[in-house]
Amino acid sequence: MPIAYKAKAKWDYVLESERKLPKESQTIFHLQTLDQAGYLACFFPPDNVPWVTVALINGLVGWENFKDELGQPIPFERDANGQGELRNLDRIVPWMFEIGSAIRKREAITKEEEKN
């Protein structure tokens, strides 16, 4: 029996390459499950926008402990109204497919994740 999907449920994601690092050294990406429009747009992207961009715009909602080459924090920012374009999306290029895939493949969050 399928369990009902919960759109916009939030959870934290750590890159595979950082999972063995101490917690204080890990970058935490705050993700959320996609709503119907976002989910479908990943499979039928509008205006030839890559699915991974659609997933990130709709499913990446923040990050912590993400730093530049000098160790300075990189802020998580969206355009003026707080939605749509992610201003620092170019900073995650090496990990776009890993994070985007985590968003697109996520069907549910665990009870433990929901508490956080």
CA distances from residue 6 to 34, 57, 114 in whole angstroms, order as listed: 9, 18, 11
Q: What is the pTM of this model?
A: 0.84
* 53-57, 78-82, 104-108 — most confident range: 53-57
Structural domain boundaries of the chain?
10-115
Type of residue numbered 36 = Q
Predicted local confidence at residue 1, as pLDDT:
66
pLDDT over 90, % of the chain: 50
* 47/44 Cα distance (integer angstroms): 9
